[in-house]
Amino acid sequence: MSYKKRLWLLIGVDSLIVMTSIFISFFLLSPSGNLLSMILILSSIILLLSHHVFAGVFKLYKKAWQYASVNELTNIFYAVSCSIAVTALSQAILFGSVSLRTLVITWMMHIILIGGSRFAWRLYRDTYMRPKYKGKRTLIIGAGNAGTMIVRQLKQSDKPELNPVGFIDDDNNKMHLEILDVPVLGNVQDITRLVQEYRIEHIVIAIPSLNRHDLQHIFQECSKTDVKTQILPRIEDLMLGTVSVNQFKDVEVEDLLGRDPVKLDIDGIADYITDKTILVTGAGGSIGSEICRQLARFSPKQLVLLGHGENSIYSIEMEMRRSIPDLNIDTEIADVQDREKIIAIMEQRKPHVVFHAAAHKHVPLMERNPEEAVKNNVIGTKNVAEAADFARVNTFVMISTDKAVNPTSVMGSTKRMAEMIVQHMDMISDTRFVAVRFGNVLGSRGSVIPLFKQQIKNGGPVTVTDPEMVRYFMTIPEASRLVLQAGSLAQGGEVFVLDMGEPVKIVDLAKNLIKLSGYTEEEIPIIFTGMRPGEKLFEELLSKDEVHNEQVYPMIYRGKTPPVNINVTYDLLDEFLEQDRDVLRERLLDISNFRVKELNLLSKAK
């Protein structure tokens, strides 16, 4: 039915109810009275006009009554009460008295008849127009607001794919009650039993504010069944309106391994970002691109995206121009190994802050190509740091890695040497130079999770190097936000360390991914291939000599790093291309682990 037809239908129904109810009320109180008296006729006209006015004010003609609820009933109450009050006031002014009993009965009849006319459509729709196909028998975990909204939307859907048959909730006060005709069947510990008892075909976790630890516990219980489990989108997505409450998503490993977000010092970050020119190297990479997204929230004066790969820079540029059209974005295609180009860019752009995320990070590849790791990670950092010094940049933040602690790989050694260069530059420059160290990020290019997902997609097997190998994990947005926070805390020379939480066994990660993908370990086997060159069974964020136990900010520590003899590093850079790869690897490990004679003497002197 068109809006105009629907509007005139409702006006007609309301007019009939208003006119008949006041005459019926008068007749019930005075059966022998004159139904054509002046007071009754004028009162009915005033009541009719005022009702339509207040029906418009409270939007009674714009409501979708098939979804009517208590809120709509409240609006009917207000509209009817106001129209009766206007009629009573008119009687007092025109006739000097008020037919109070007549108006009270009229008010009651209006509430009942107008409310009934509206809710009758919903009752008819829910009773006689519900689809025959009920959808998959679904268990809703969480009998709160989100769970209730899900059930309401599923019941009102014309083609429901899911049929809610019960709630799960740990609140004992809700046990055995019904919400929208759906019973609360038990708590989380009852999931396995209830799935069998009620022939459940689908599970939805409907607690958007659920913390990660509780989500892991609930998912473990759901994993004991063979039923597909989905989860409500993140609470921030629901609040922003980017998704609706019934757009479920599969539980992903990021949901299980991520942590509850830390509250940022927004003012502290804004002080050094807002209205400033910010330059990000490696802006097309996983971390660099996310740093750019996070920076955009703080309205920098200009955001310069610098990277070597034109495709990745183009991709992040187009994404940000589309999502934040008012942001002043510019790009620079440049290799951090090109000293003259980097210096020229810094002099031209004159950034206030530089985030240096450009680096080679793949451990086995750098083990086979140590000279390339030196070029990009060490020389590239030196070039960008010195260019920042020449351009009088205020703050320089280098992205480092936990593999720089007691390094056993070329990649870790070169990142530790990059930290040493940054620390040395802080000693001789007016620019504040700091490094931020963290472990693996979930979903980054080249990380283990995309590899496992591809192996599962290909039918297996999933390859794990060692059953005892553990790693720290953090989501890319979380790491990027904390990098920005660390930059606001910088005084110069620090190596900040992000709290990575509890380490995760890689084999457990593989098992979770197989389960989340809907397979068993019999269908997708796990095989152990042995550790690769340069790898460690476990990673460290700080060595025993670097530990500061107190946090300088939630989830951020300040590390104590050993003394730096930069001359040893610079000597290597002068001659590394002339050395055999095996010799180069050994020298990198010696310098980064302070095993050379000069560094030992320096440490003793201190």
Q: 142 and 169 in contact (C-beta within 8 Å)?
A: yes
Q: 485 and 556 in contact (C-beta within 8 Å)?
A: yes
Cα–Cα dist 6/61, whole Å: 8
**Do β-strands 395-399 and 473-475 pair in parallel, antiparallel, or remain unpaired?**
unpaired
From residue 149, alpha-carbon distances to 83, 156, 210, 246, 411 in Å are 33, 11, 16, 8, 50
Match 């450009």 to its residue by tokens.
358
The closest alpha carbon to 573, from 313, 367, 380, belongs to: 380
Cα–Cα dist 14/313, whole Å: 62
Cα–Cα dist 151/587, whole Å: 64
Q: 162 and 154 in contact (C-beta within 8 Å)?
A: yes
The CA-to-CA distance between both ends of the chain, in Å, stands at 87
Cα–Cα dist 165/147, whole Å: 12
SS3 235: helix
Q: List phi, psi (to 5°) of 463.
A: -100, 125
Give one DSSP letter per residue of 100-169, joined into a string: HHHHHHHHHHHHHHHHHHHHHHHHHHHHHSS-S---EEEEEE--SHHHHHHHHHHHH-SS-SEEEEEEE-
**Do β-strands 551-553 and 526-528 pair in parallel, antiparallel, or remain unpaired?**
unpaired
Running DSSP on this structure, what letter comes out for residue 345? H
Q: Is 241 left (phi over 0), alpha (psi -120 to 50) or beta?
A: left
Name the CA dihedral angle for 123, 126, 129, 132, rounded to a multiple of 10 degrees: -150
Cα–Cα dist 556/414, whole Å: 23
Q: 350 and 388 in contact (C-beta within 8 Å)?
A: no
Q: 350 and 277 in contact (C-beta within 8 Å)?
A: yes
Cα–Cα dist 513/255, whole Å: 12
105 Cβ contact partners less than 8 Å away, ≥ 6 residues apart: 25, 28, 29
Q: 443 and 476 in contact (C-beta within 8 Å)?
A: yes
200 Cβ contact partners less than 8 Å away, ≥ 6 residues apart: 137, 138, 139, 165, 166, 194, 225, 227
Q: Which residues are catalytic?
A: 403
Cα–Cα dist 478/480, whole Å: 5
Tokens of 440: 């693996």
The closest alpha carbon to 495, from 536, 534, 543, belongs to: 543
Match 């660099």 to its residue by tokens.
288
Q: What angle do CA 318, 316, 474 make, to 5 degrees?
A: 150
> What single-letter amino acid sits at 422?
V
Q: 478 and 261 in contact (C-beta within 8 Å)?
A: yes
